[in-house]
Chains A and B, each alone.
Chain A
Amino acid sequence: MNQTQNILDVTKEQSEKKLMLEIVDLRKSFGNNHVLNGFNLELFEGENLVIMGKSGSGKSVMIKCLVGLMQADSGSIKVMGKDITKLNRVELDNIRTEIGFLFQGNALYDSMTVRENLEFPLRRHKKKFENLTDTTPLITEALESVGLAHTVNLMPSELSGGMKKRIALARALILKPKIILYDEPTSGLDPITSKEIIELMRRVQKQYKTSSLIITHDVDCARVVSERMILLVDGTNYAEGTFTELASSNDEQVKAFFK
């Protein structure tokens, strides 16, 4: 009851802001494995929304449906007002330039140098920047914002885990997207490197003025970056609210997330 009240308050407060992402009643199954059973989400401009859920709860599946990498069984997915399930290839590619995607496993192209990795999104989307003849300034800017300008000619295999994460973030930023999707940005990193990545996410947020959807099961990460949170249990929104609200909840399932 209390939580429903909170949701209402939050929505009222943000109703004037622009809606960047909207998912309504998303469903997705693999055979008999019903992963998402009516998931809803709203992300407003400039907001940091954290989604927490257990391993295997379908967070990555949800985020992949969001960018059209997977087909949802039903439900609507709107990115900046456009329903991505109804777009053709070109329109979909155009809307994807507004979304930066940080993959769970970085997904750096390991046969290419850092520079070529960052240039890759620019191959087809130069038109987003008028009169782009030299990509070097863009690449330098993105690398400097993650503090790794000196690695431009290295191969991904020559980088540490934390560095790879930063390069992947730089690649997600290269097209200056309005929305960034982080799929477990701190998983597999030691606590100190995690802190650095979290710090970096906040800096990037300010510098690029993006709206972010952050998927994580790292409580520290959620505490620092979240403005609002959704807990994903059994394929639906189990609870929503700010970090402090959820962390002080009496519900057993919710408590389990913050142990």
Chain B
Amino acid sequence: MQKNSAIKSFFIEIGELTYFAGRFFKEVFSRPFEFKELLRQCYSIGNRSILLVGVTGFIIGLVLTLQTRPTLQEFGAESWMPSMVSISIIREIGPVIIALTFAGRIASGIGAELGSMRVTEQIDAMEVSGTNPFKFLVVTRILAATIMLPILVIFGDAIALYGSYIIENAKGDVSFVLYFNKVFKALEFSDLIPATIKTFFFGFAIALVGCFKGYNCKKGTVGVGKAANSAVVYASMLLFILDFIAVFITDIFFEI
């Protein structure tokens, strides 16, 4: 009985989220456009997550190289290091791990921010003063995250490769030029393009869930905490589902 109602409310939630996404697509193309607010959100989202993404990327690069090195060494294949590391970072590890840290930071941030605006009636106040709050708050945040995440992932990937180079340089005496020559020789557009395309979807999904949870926040401070928390959980889950779909599609288009 209880299990039934949990499943039911899960599907209701999915339905509402879909409706919310539909409303986004309806309002994103209609006037007036909130350009100034969009730029402000891009700046704020980038500013809030760039350090985190940088550190995460750097550590991914370090750890991946340190842990893979002994195995490759056993087979005398250290010279494969740059190509191996770069492909795994660019294709999968970079986008997914960076999107996850981004979700932790941005989905919860948006959830809490919009949630407290809902609870303190700031969203109602916008509505009565002639500004469409969905456009001003939701559309701008979703667009900003969709634009910013791909940029942040490319930045994080670059830092990760640099981290990997530092280890290679220290342990294997590989020069900067040689390392990145190997990296670029190994990488193809078929690695980079699908990986970048999927980050747009990741960014969209993360902000969508954050906005959905915050915008529909229930009254009370408990509601705000819940909104922030469940935003991160749902966003991370959605990320893995999207990633699975993306890998599946990439496989069909690029590998055959």
Residues of A within 8 A of B (CB): 64, 67, 69, 93, 96-97, 99, 101, 103-111, 120-121, 123-125, 171, 175
The number of inter-chain residue pairs (CB within 8 angstroms) is 49
For B121-138 the 0/1 string (1 means CB < 8 A from A) is 110111111110000000
Contact A109 B122 (CB under 8 A): yes
B120: CB under 8 A from chain A? yes
Nearest CB on A from B38, distance (A): 15
Q: Interface size of B by Cβ–Cβ distance < 8 Å?
A: 15
16 further contact pairs, Cβ within 8 A, besides A67-B128, A69-B124, A124-B130 = A69-B128, A96-B128, A96-B129, A96-B130, A101-B125, A103-B125, A104-B121, A105-B121, A107-B121, A107-B125, A108-B122, A109-B122, A109-B126, A121-B130, A124-B131, A125-B129
For B96-133 the 0/1 string (1 means CB < 8 A from A) is 00000000000000000100110011101111111100
Enumerate chain B residues within 8 angstroms of A111, measured Cβ to Cβ: 113
Contact B120 A120 (CB under 8 A): no
- Complex A-B, nearest 4 residue pairs according to Cβ-Cβ distance, in ascending order: A121-B129, A124-B130, A107-B125, A107-B121
Docked complex Cα distance between A171 and B129 (Å): 10
Contact B121 A93 (CB under 8 A): no
- Some 21 contacts from A to B, beta carbons below 8 A apart, are A64-B124, A67-B128, A69-B124, A69-B127, A93-B130, A97-B130, A101-B125, A103-B121, A103-B124, A104-B121, A105-B120, A109-B117, A110-B116, A120-B126, A120-B129, A120-B131, A121-B130, A123-B130, A124-B130, A124-B131, A175-B129
CB nearest neighbor in A for B36: A123
Contact B122 A101 (CB under 8 A): no
Docked complex Cα distance between A123 and B127 (Å): 12
Docked complex Cα distance between A67 and B122 (Å): 15
Docked complex Cα distance between A110 and B116 (Å): 10
Residues of B within 8 A of A (CB): 32, 113, 116-117, 120-122, 124-131
Enumerate chain B residues within 8 angstroms of A171, measured Cβ to Cβ: 129
Enumerate chain A residues within 8 angstroms of B129, measured Cβ to Cβ: 96, 120-121, 124-125, 171, 175
CB nearest neighbor in A for B125: A107
Docked complex Cα distance between A120 and B117 (Å): 15
Docked complex Cα distance between A96 and B127 (Å): 9
Docked complex Cα distance between A11 and B117 (Å): 41
Given contacts A108-B122, A110-B122, contact A101 B131 (CB under 8 A): no
Enumerate chain B residues within 8 angstroms of A120, measured Cβ to Cβ: 126, 129, 131
Nearest CB on A from B130, distance (A): 4
Contact A99 B131 (CB under 8 A): no
Enumerate chain A residues within 8 angstroms of B113, measured Cβ to Cβ: 111
Docked complex Cα distance between A106 and B120 (Å): 8
- Most-contacted residue by chain A among B120, B121, B130 (CB, 10 A): B130
Enumerate chain A residues within 8 angstroms of B130, measured Cβ to Cβ: 93, 96-97, 121, 123-125
Contact A107 B120 (CB under 8 A): yes
Nearest CB on A from B117, distance (A): 8
Docked complex Cα distance between A64 and B125 (Å): 11
Docked complex Cα distance between A108 and B113 (Å): 14
Enumerate chain A residues within 8 angstroms of B120, measured Cβ to Cβ: 105-107, 110
Contact B131 A107 (CB under 8 A): no
Nearest CB on A from B45, distance (A): 14
- Most-contacted residue by chain B among A93, A107, A125 (CB, 10 A): A107
